[in-house]
Structure 1
Amino acid sequence: MKRVRLIATCLFYFSRVLALPYLATAAYCIICFLFRTDSLQPIEDGKRFVITYPFTDTRFLIGDTYEFYYIFEMIAFIALYGIFFWLLGNIFKTFRGKKLFTQQGVRRLSIFYLLNFIVPLPFLIGHIAYSYEVEILVSLSVLHFVLGVFAYFMAVIFKQGLNLQTEQDLYI
């Protein structure tokens, strides 16, 4: 079990390292669009936009179109992948504990599988409605669905383990 804890600890920190830049980027984009900062620069007569690194003229993000749906989707995608990696880190955090089957572990897995089942659907519907890069989003949706299935199975196993552990604790 020590090896599992060590691997889970490494993956926990790795997922946090991945989550933080995504979340920071989403927050920075929101700030740029809400406050119309100098970092947000329209290009091609306002049809597209560029977001630069703070306090520089170096391009950071380049947008395809200056429409609300595209901007919302771009920021939501970035933020949701930050949340995805954060929640994935929470799963690894569960494996770091001394007790494996806990109510908190079951809850973390449940949130993770629900996120993977539910969140891709509105994006898929939106992409189908706008006929915009549908193939890529279908692939991503299928991948998240499969990941959600595995997380669901793990949540059921953890719930059963928690029940057995509780019964054992009552018996002793």
Structure 2
Amino acid sequence: MKLLRCIRFDDSDTRVFPRAAAPGEWAVPGTFVFADADPEALGRQDRQAFANGFLGLGSFGRSTLVTVATITPEEYEATVTALAEHLVDHYGAPDQASAEAAAREEVDYAAALCEHPINTLLSLSRFIEGEAIREQFRVVPPPGEKLHTKIWEITPDG
């Protein structure tokens, strides 16, 4: 099985989001958080979370990038349970069974995004289109073998 895992290359997530997800947390897109929100009325950090943030399932903070990773069935179920508890505690899910069904749907959706090789990086762009929130996921290509341009060459005297 595969699922999204938060990754961080620098500390920018700690500055741009209200709460940054920790590297290594399992993640889902988490668009449900913004279902009733008016993005124009959000503060700067919340607007950034709306526009680009995956939801980490440990801290329930945001991550700009995620990577495709292997997850065990036990970890998968624990992730569903953690999200379900969060839905009850913070989003008013009517009962644990409803929360678990919604959480499983969200985690299954995230798993469906993992049709890429392990360690593939993904980014998210979220925007309003008409009355709906739309998501676009992009594969972030790894840097090429040449990270720098050669600006000189040493040649033997001769």
TM-score by length of 2: 0.27
Greater relative CO (CA pairs within 8 A, separation 6+):
2
> What TM-score, normalized by structure 1, do the two folds share?
0.26
